[in-house]
Amino acid sequence: MSQKINPTSLKLGILQLWNFNLPKYGKQFKNYKRRIQIYKYICYYVKHVLRSHKLLLNKINIRCINQQVLITVSLFCLQPNFNLLNKNFLLNTIFNWLRTPLILHFYQTFSLNSSSFLLSNYITYLIKEKNISAKKLLQQVYLLLKSQSKNPKLVYTISGVRIVNLKGFKIQFSGCFEASRSQMAKIIKCNFGSVPLTKLNGFIDYSSNTVFTKFGTCGLKIWLFYEFKSF
């Protein structure tokens, strides 16, 4: 019988157990499945609304506290001057889904290197809206991340809140992203700084996304490598 191997344990060569075990039967699984579906729909809807207002989703957190649903949204603005979107419209739409009291908070992010998920949404936006080629796009992102490499970032760890700096990054774009006679998939990569994948003394932020272009389906993978800053 095949064994369910933890992908993190297999990649790093260490012994690591799963965070939880979830049975595929009973009321517990039904409730968990419903929560996953609600979270997926809320993320998709918020991301769509933000995109229509020239805003990119960085992070969304949904918690249930005292019979209320607390939603915190971190976003990045593509324009220097903007008016925040109407919160009441979002609250009414999500309330019709959940039928529970809601609390919605927005936080603005000022740097693209704050998370790989934000950077992935930014690259997807440029490919779809600006029609920029993949090679030129990766060059722009490379220069942008290189200029913001000294900006600090706060992360939550087991030992508490820590300050980290961007040590290096790796971006991989694969698929049919340009017109060619062969119509074969290609892979382009760009690296900067130190990109260790087997060390545990740092913080790694990883994100993957699927981009649909007029030439075909492409895969986007981003690794951001941070090092802990000494106090």
Name the more confident of 157 and 11.
Answer: 157
Q: Residue 10 pLDDT > 60, yes or no?
A: no
| Dist CA 199 CA 214 (whole Å) | 39
User: In which domain, by residue range, is 68 found?
Assistant: 20-109
Q: 24 and 119 in one domain?
A: no
| Dist CA 129 CA 92 (whole Å) | 29
Q: 28 and 131 in one domain?
A: no
Say how many domains are in the chain: 2
**pLDDT value of residue 198:** 66
Question: Are 227 and 218 a contacting pair, CB within 8 Å?
Answer: no
Q: 216 and 118 in one domain?
A: yes
Q: 222 and 116 in one domain?
A: yes
Determine how many CB atoms are found less than 10 A away from the CB of residue 57: 20
Q: Summarize pLDDT for 53-65 with one digit per residue, the tens.
A: 888 888 888 887 7
Report which of 183, 166, 184, 180 is spatially closest to residue 226, judged by C-alpha positions: 166
Q: Is residue 3 part of a domain?
A: no
Q: Summarize pLDDT for 163-207 with one digit per residue, the tens.
A: 888 888 888 888 877 766 667 778 888 888 777 766 666 778 888
**pLDDT value of residue 38:** 79
N-term to C-term CA, the chain: 49
Determine how many CB atoms are found less than 10 A away from the CB of residue 115: 20
Q: 89 and 120 in one domain?
A: no
Q: Is residue 220 part of a domain?
A: yes
Q: 188 and 132 in one domain?
A: yes
pTM for this predicted structure: 0.72
